[in-house]
Structure 1
């Protein structure tokens, strides 16, 4: 569907439900004019709060607080009217219907944010941060999303962009102005050094973004082990809920059971699996095969054992993955027995899931996945898979530029790739005129024409 940016759009910014207040938002040049058709007194063309009665023809249907944002002082950069009406389902729908009848168009999903981007109010990273802020599962994800929305990433991207423009400018100067043969840093080796710095910056961005996305979406945590070692009891203890059925019969869990555990700085997506054993039960076999298949996609494996059930063959399948061996039913063991089993593994903690005594496991997980340092890292943190792919493309273009220099290609060919990188960064920042920026930098930095 082609979007007409000249339309005035309308949508409910809150859930349409029985509640105290609903907020209906209009954005567009005619936002005030359309709203004036359903109220008792015209809105003042100012940024302010105004109380108005709302009418359907001659019948009053509500009295509402109305906020007006004009002269570009709004989220979208357009005129915005927010109607804070009473939160009845019928009333909210009625007001939206009236606004549509007088010329507003129902907004498409995400269209308010899209207009904010197109009008230069936010960039792509900030737009994505709005979704992350709403969907945050833990405190750290909330803080990072808020920082991205505030524009922390803008500054880091701008610094990267300045480095890139400087490289392009050096190359462009040597092409367009051959008389300037003494431009500092314009030799092939110096350009390669500058490209390597950008490459390292890009690798750091991808590494940090990967860490953030794992903690933001949840660390996929597989609870794995033989039957009756206490996997389901461990899941229930972790989430403080009787999510999984626990019995003394082997093979009780036949399919995966999921739960979620939120820490301050990360979230665990817990998956309890069918116990691993040889069985002729076809349904149980399917569950066991599914359990094994989940090993590869897991970020963390809780390998559960007890004194009588230690599956070393299964341990071989997971030992190279991030894991912790969980010695369960520790309440049945003495200290010598616990120390003897601990000596057989590197990462191991003793717990009693039945008694909810899992503090040692919780402490290990917190130490392993704290991630608090992400708040201090001064590089862009990307949370959108498309943006991450854009940076992977930047890395590919930088590597290609390095290879072209090594192969002795002319610098104008190298600049083709560098301009493509600049286009990607500008796209993230919501800027489009790259050529003008390069020209400005050339004249400013290298004093062409004095």
Structure 2
């Protein structure tokens, strides 16, 4: 349903800075009329590019390219004018002030996207995709979030929703209109089979989406090890900067130091920790305790060791986590020794962090987190942990409905779980009127009342 807002909003679409071009966007019922008040030649009310001179009190202040959109053709679903003016900070602010003086209101944060959603131009998943696209930190994240922003990646969710509505409509029809006894696929076994296929699609989305969370948020990567093995040197080499202090004094790093490195298909959130050893120093001891606690929340652990002197106590603590044993100061190790070490440890690499010789480690990390197959999965990708949780609840409701159908439990009980699943998916999309959708589908597909 298209909603009508009674005011017109304005905001810079680009950062106000000294640059060649700044873009100022208006959206609302009076967008054209307000702009016409600061130009001499009125805008044509169509979708086009129009060159106009801008005036303040009959004094020329700029010549700008205005891009106009008529309601349904715009991003917000309203009349929109985008003013491409010259990019001086003072000039852009002056034009903004003129537009506000003539009737526009400064937009709130996110209000253009909010209006697009309220006017049915985008759903909540697309709105989230737009935000994630802006925040993307690697190339794969850009590709995924672009699909979500345009709605191209939501088709499987919409298909799942359509299947649910169809099953609910069939059941509701037989309950309310028992004379309609010729509808196919209404036996408990057929309904259970249909719902099982739908549940399988939901689970595929959950599986892929959980992997993608790490692409958008970054892989929490813990650099762990004893003092003076080269953890801080490794952090600096990965970041290509001197972020951590490197000395020969044990216990130099006493707190958490963080950084980030972006690859093509993923990002690492790097955490350099205090060296783990027995100590009586209270401050260092607190840092060590923090380091050990971070093991539980890490997605990847780089256990840095000095020339194959692997602390087995630390090694045992990370066995159930994704990890790489990083042998630093490996110049002196022979090929024979390295080959033998690779037989003993599955994930082991050899580096010289102080010389920034870490290519073997980088290749191993890329191998583990390549993610090359994600875009070939041809399924919807959800990039919000709350929405993934919603899909898990929807799958659980579907599973309960299937079990109840197979157990010949009353159909009214099954309907409760089906509506629960449908409502959960609609909430993700920002749709509130589930009953209306079911009613519309019932009449459209099953010709009630002809």
Query: TM-score when scaled to structure 1?
Result: 0.92
**Partner in structure 1 of residue 375 of structure 2:** 375
In the TM superposition, residue 29 of structure 1 has moved relative to its aligned partner by 0.4
**Partner in structure 2 of residue 121 of structure 1:** 121
Which runs of 5 or more structure 1 residues have no equivalent in the other structure?
A: none
User: Within 1, Cα distance between the matches of 2:78 and 2:444?
Assistant: 35
**Partner in structure 2 of residue 268 of structure 1:** 268
8 Å contact from structure 1 (residues 274, 287) kept in 2: yes
**Partner in structure 1 of residue 335 of structure 2:** 335
In the TM superposition, residue 439 of structure 1 has moved relative to its aligned partner by 4.2
State the superposition RMSD in angstroms. Answer: 2.3
CA pair 308-433 structure 1, distance change in 2 beyond 3 A: closer
1:38-77 correspondence runs (5 A): 38-77=38-77
Structure 1 consecutive aligned stretches of length 4 or more whose deviation exceeds 3 Å: 179-184, 339-344, 402-409, 423-450
8 Å contact from structure 1 (residues 226, 309) kept in 2: no
The secondary structure found in structure 1 opposite 2:186 is coil
**Partner in structure 1 of residue 227 of structure 2:** 227
CA pair 308-163 structure 1, distance change in 2 beyond 3 A: closer
In the TM superposition, residue 51 of structure 1 has moved relative to its aligned partner by 2.2
**Partner in structure 1 of residue 10 of structure 2:** 10
The count of residues paired between Structure 1 and Structure 2 equals 448
User: Within 2, Cα distance between the matches of 1:218 and 1:293?
Assistant: 19
User: Within 1, Cα distance between the matches of 2:177 and 2:275?
Assistant: 72
8 Å contact from structure 1 (residues 304, 327) kept in 2: yes
User: Within 2, Cα distance between the matches of 1:183 and 1:398?
Assistant: 22
8 Å contact from structure 2 (residues 189, 406) kept in 1: no
User: Within 2, Cα distance between the matches of 1:448 and 1:99?
Assistant: 53
In the TM superposition, residue 148 of structure 1 has moved relative to its aligned partner by 1.7
User: Within 2, Cα distance between the matches of 1:285 and 1:58?
Assistant: 72
The secondary structure found in structure 2 opposite 1:152 is coil
**C-alpha distance after superposition, 1:197-219 (max 9, x if no partner):** 22222222122111111111111
**C-alpha distance after superposition, 1:82-113 (max 9, x if no partner):** 11122222222222122112211111111101
8 Å contact from structure 2 (residues 5, 29) kept in 1: no
In the TM superposition, residue 193 of structure 1 has moved relative to its aligned partner by 2.6
User: Within 2, Cα distance between the matches of 1:255 and 1:281?
Assistant: 13
In the TM superposition, residue 240 of structure 1 has moved relative to its aligned partner by 2.1
**Partner in structure 2 of residue 213 of structure 1:** 213
**Partner in structure 2 of residue 279 of structure 1:** 279
User: Within 2, Cα distance between the matches of 1:430 and 1:341?
Assistant: 54
CA pair 374-203 structure 1, distance change in 2 beyond 3 A: same
CA pair 281-125 structure 1, distance change in 2 beyond 3 A: same
**C-alpha distance after superposition, 1:370-411 (max 9, x if no partner):** 112111122221112332233233123223424544665421
User: Within 2, Cα distance between the matches of 1:169 and 1:77?
Assistant: 31
The secondary structure found in structure 2 opposite 1:372 is coil
In the TM superposition, residue 436 of structure 1 has moved relative to its aligned partner by 4.9
**Partner in structure 2 of residue 99 of structure 1:** 99
**Partner in structure 2 of residue 244 of structure 1:** 244
The secondary structure found in structure 1 opposite 2:42 is coil
**Partner in structure 2 of residue 37 of structure 1:** 37
**Partner in structure 2 of residue 438 of structure 1:** 438
Query: TM-score when scaled to structure 2?
Result: 0.92
**Partner in structure 1 of residue 303 of structure 2:** 303
In the TM superposition, residue 131 of structure 1 has moved relative to its aligned partner by 1.1
In the TM superposition, residue 167 of structure 1 has moved relative to its aligned partner by 1.6
- Which range moves more in the overlay, 401-410 or 70-79? 401-410
**Partner in structure 2 of residue 80 of structure 1:** 80
The secondary structure found in structure 1 opposite 2:73 is coil
Which runs of 5 or more structure 2 residues have no equivalent in the other structure?
A: none
